[in-house]
Chains A and B, each alone.
Chain A
Amino acid sequence: SQELEQSPQSLIVQEGKNLTINCTSSKTLYGLYWYKQKYGEGLIFLMMLQKGGEEKSHEKITAKLDEKKQQSSLHITASQPSHAGIYLCGAEYLQGAQKLVFGQGTRLTINP
Chain B
Amino acid sequence: DAGVTQSPTHLIKTRGQHVTLRCSPISGHKSVSWYQQVLGQGPQFIFQYYEKEERGRGNFPDRFSARQFPNYSSELNVNALLLGDSALYLCASSLASGHRNTEAFFGQGTRLTVV
Contacts and interface: CB of A to CB of B under 8 A. Distances in A.
Contact of A48 (B50, B98, B103, B106): B103
Interface stretch (A11-19, A62-70, A72-80, A95-103): A95-103
A45 to B, nearest CB: 5
Nearest to A102: B42
A103 B44 CA distance: 10
Contact of A43 (B40, B56, B106): B106
Interface residues of B, number: 34
Q: Range of interface residues on chain A?
A: 20 to 34
Contacts of A31: 101
Contacts of A30: 101
A97 B56 contact: yes
A42 B48 CA distance: 18
B100 A96 contact: yes
Residue among A42, A48, A50, A103 having the largest count of chain B Cβ atoms under 10 Å:
A42
B100 A45 contact: no
Given A43-B90, A96-B96, A96-B97, A101 B45 contact: yes
Interface stretch (B12-20, B64-72, B78-86, B107-115): B107-115
A42 B45 contact: no
B85 to A, nearest CB: 17
A92 interface: yes
Contact of A99 (B6, B33, B98, B111): B33
Contact of A98 (B43, B58, B96, B111): B96
Nearest to A35: B106
A42 B99 CA distance: 27
A112 interface: no
Interface of B: 4, 6, 31, 33, 35, 40-45, 48, 50, 55-56, 58, 88, 90, 92, 94, 96-101, 103-109, 111
5 contacts: A50-B101, A95-B99, A99-B56, A100-B92, A104-B41
